[in-house]
Structure 1
Amino acid sequence: GPAAGRLHTARSRNDQVATDMRLFVRTVSFAAVDGLRGLQAAVLDLAETHLGTLMPGYTHLQRAQPVLLAHHLLAYFEMFERDIQRFATTAERADVLPLGSGALAGVPYPIDREVVAEELGFSSLSANSIDAVSDRDFVIDFHASAAILMTHISRLAEEIILWSSEEFGFLRLPPKFATGSSIMPQKSNPDIAELARARSGRAIGNLVSVLAVMKGLPLSYNRDLQEDKQPLFDTVSNVMSTLEVLTAMVPSLQFDKDRMEAAASAGYLLATDLADHLVGKGLPFRDAHQSVMALVEYAQSRDQPLASMTLDEYRRFSPLFDEAVLRLDARSSVASRDVAGGTAPGRVRDALKQARRILEEEWPARSS
């Protein structure tokens, strides 16, 4: 009847759709934060059980220096913390009411936009009606946050894949997070991690898709904006389901601590410690670096690990080497990195406590 006909007064599809999109992005941004807190908790729980576990740290995918596994895992806690901050900022930027902007110029009725904002839970009003109906920056913000998150997840998934291979042998996946082969009975394939790794491509593609839609639009509203929905809904589904699966998989990772420590102790991972030893004797680091590089080349030519070298052999490359060099090992190397943010056990223990405090303060309902 006539009353229903008045419902559209002072409203346009343009400002209504913009309002709906902002409500949706705000809601799913908070959901992503909650999912990330769950994944952080799983990573932290795992790290706390491996404070004493040694592993080789890598650069260029080559063994570089010994580190603690807990320290390595906490790197992902830090990545996910930045992701949380990005999604929180996305929710804040979406928290602007465009309703009342009409099609593009505002409306000729004495509406109270502040009351509407309060009723819908928005904290502020859009300041320009033309911008309000054509802005999708908050959608792009969500896509960008999701693409970065999925890139972080892809990096974690890649390490799970590598470490579960026979070449590394650092961890085993339980059967529910791996699949067999249709022809090779011995296979246990890290399919779940591989799918998580692949899904980052979808998130990145959806970000680029929306940027491409927006890049040439004249003000104000254009029907092109209809194409912002499908990529957004796909990315939301992609992110939330991946967070759920990773949160379930991380606690089930079974590390081979003996193999990891053996890898951290083998070869030439203590070369930097040898250079630091010479620096402690007063040699400039550049000269120490050159001496140890020559020493490592000598040992490699003889297929001889550093642990088997004698003091006389060390002194061929610098007379400053003394008995203390024979006591260097992976654990003393880790312990020497006693700086804020370093891999020394005390510093990692402090980092674990700080991470736990973050969860207790920001996620109190589930952190226990």
Structure 2
Amino acid sequence: MTGDGGARGRTLWHGRFAGGPSEELMAFTVSLPFDRVLAADDIAGSRAHVRGLVRGGLLDGDEAAAVLGALDTAEHELASGSFAFAPSDEDIHTAVERRVTELAGPAGAKLHTGRSRNDQVATDLRLWTKRALAEVADRVVSLQGALLARAEAAGGAYLPGYTHLQQAQPVLLAHHLLAHGWALARDVDRLLAARARGDVSPLGAGALAGSSLPLDPEGTAADLGFAAVFDNSLDAVSDRDFVAEALFVLALCGIHLSRLGEEWVIWSSEEVGFVTLDDAYATGSSMLPQKKNPDIAELARGKTGRLVGNLTALLVTLKGLPLAYNRDLQEDKEPLFDSVEQVSLGLAAVEGMVRTATFDLERMAATADTPAAAATDLAEWLVARGTPFRDAHAVVGDLVRRSLAGEGALADLVAADERLGAEAAALIAPGVPVTRRTTRGGGGPVAVAAQLDRFRTHLAADVARLPDGG
């Protein structure tokens, strides 16, 4: 879109200019190739505007019927692909108004009464964003459901937990999967909160200062399903906070997909071998016949830079703009449309990857069952018997150092140490350390069972929060 821009031929502002716009101006400023995505929202906003004009006595019943009928026709043509765009169609708003005027005649020429493309595009974009964020939230919830299903099926399976990409302590596989699920739960919160803050109608703000005509901003807002009406016309047409916030939420959701993707790239490597991807969710090599590549996980990681770039681009665009509308704001749409598309595609692909992958539970357990994984348990065993933690840490650290130096197996060194002994050495046995994480939110069986219940409840509540539509 646009604002008060131009189009080749008879423009919406042709009366002020002696001639038409240059081809260079049109080539640089046209937005129709990307803002036609807003067609359905533009028609919905126009219908509400027409009904508001009727309530204000600015259109009679026959005129309104003609314009609404023309809008119906334009909507059908756009949906079917038969809509004939003209060279003068600078943006989707111009195209729809031109077609309505062709169909409805003089009544169609009244469609833009009391309205500017400045409040028109802001209305369209808010309608689109409301719907898009709800749809993305639905996809996030679906991925959470996949993680929950795999966590429930994992039972007592465990694997190493890592810090600094170094083995730290074993945790249940369910615990690891739910860690991603909780991060995505925060994305749902942010998506719905951003949607709620953007749920404000700008229709009636005009170009920047409202109108002298008897418009009905409250009525059109209710007609379009907005929760609130603008309070300041300057702010209404220039505000793109809702786009910036949407781009941030989408970028952070993409970052969460990236982190999950990074782990699955590592897990699916032959060196680690924790997971085998389903053939339908992996690719091969054009040269190396043996390869199975985790392209979904890699692209979930790689596209995050694009999402962060979209956010950065809009923030830089907004930072120096004076009130009210400036043509720079045309640059809000492509980043938003692209981020919504990429996150939506990524969520669906990652969900398929997660649902269909095969875990090598034996390999996970074997990797987690290294004696050093019980080091913290040994220190805490000493703490429970009165040893200060720093002293306990030093005792166990020294035993680990001696074992790595070749003085003997850690279990044997622990059993021989008078401060520890056989009872402590039993903590090193395979499968024992993971059972000892008992505190809330921890990675052991009792704590994870309670966490699964909390996650099911939280997910069900989020499903109930999802809007039914835009």
Shorter chain as normaliser: what TM range? over 0.9
Q: Give the letter aligned to residue 275 of structure 1.
A: A
| Structure-2 residue corresponding to 1:275 | 379
Distance 2:431 2:370 in 1: 12
Aligned partner of 2:431 among 326, 331, 340 = 331
Where do 5+ consecutive residues of structure 2 fail to align?
A: 1-104
Structure 1 range deviating more: 205-214 or 294-303: 294-303
Distance 1:120 1:286 in 2: 64
User: Match of 1:11, SS?
Assistant: coil
User: Larger relative contact order (C-alpha < 8 A, sep ≥ 6)?
Assistant: 1
After superposition, residues 61-140 of structure 1 pair within 5 angstroms as 61-140=165-244
Distance 2:319 2:300 in 1: 29
Q: Is the Cα–Cα contact under 8 Å of residues 66 and 330 in structure 1 kept in the other structure? A: no
Q: Is the Cα–Cα contact under 8 Å of residues 140 and 210 in structure 1 kept in the other structure? A: yes
Distance 1:239 1:60 in 2: 28
Distance 2:411 2:155 in 1: 24
1:241 aligns with 2:345: yes
Q: Give the letter aligned to residue 453 of structure 2.
A: K
Distance 2:248 2:402 in 1: 49
User: Match of 2:320, SS?
Assistant: coil
Note closer, same or farther for the CA distance 1:78–1:237 as it changes in structure 2 (3 Å cut). Answer: same
After superposition, residues 180-195 of structure 1 pair within 5 angstroms as 180-195=284-299
What TM-score results when the alignment is normalised by the length of structure 1?
0.94
| Structure-2 residue corresponding to 1:208 | 312
Q: Is the Cα–Cα contact under 8 Å of residues 143 and 203 in structure 1 kept in the other structure? A: yes
Note closer, same or farther for the CA distance 1:287–1:258 as it changes in structure 2 (3 Å cut). Answer: same
Note closer, same or farther for the CA distance 1:267–1:310 as it changes in structure 2 (3 Å cut). Answer: closer
After superposition, residues 1-368 of structure 1 pair within 5 angstroms as 1-302=105-406, 304-309=408-413, 311-312=415-416, 315=417, 319-328=418-427, 329=429, 331-363=431-463
| Structure-1 residue corresponding to 2:86 | none
1:87-135 CA distances to partner (integer Å, 9 max, x unpaired)? 0011101100111111111111222211111100001111111111000
What TM-score results when the alignment is normalised by the length of structure 2?
0.74
Where do 5+ consecutive residues of structure 1 fail to align?
A: none
Distance 2:316 2:188 in 1: 26
Q: Is the Cα–Cα contact under 8 Å of residues 266 and 305 in structure 1 kept in the other structure? A: no
Q: Give the letter aligned to residue 199 of structure 1.
A: K
How far apart are residue 253 of structure 1 and its match?
Answer: 1.5
Q: Give the letter aligned to residue 343 of structure 2.
A: V
Structure 1 range deviating more: 329-338 or 134-143: 329-338
Distance 2:198 2:291 in 1: 47
1:184-204 CA distances to partner (integer Å, 9 max, x unpaired)? 222211112111211111111
Distance 1:139 1:349 in 2: 39
Question: Identity of counterpart residues, as a percentage?
Answer: 48
Distance 2:348 2:112 in 1: 40
Q: Is the Cα–Cα contact under 8 Å of residues 399 and 410 in structure 2 kept in the other structure? A: no
How far apart are residue 254 of structure 1 and its match?
Answer: 0.8
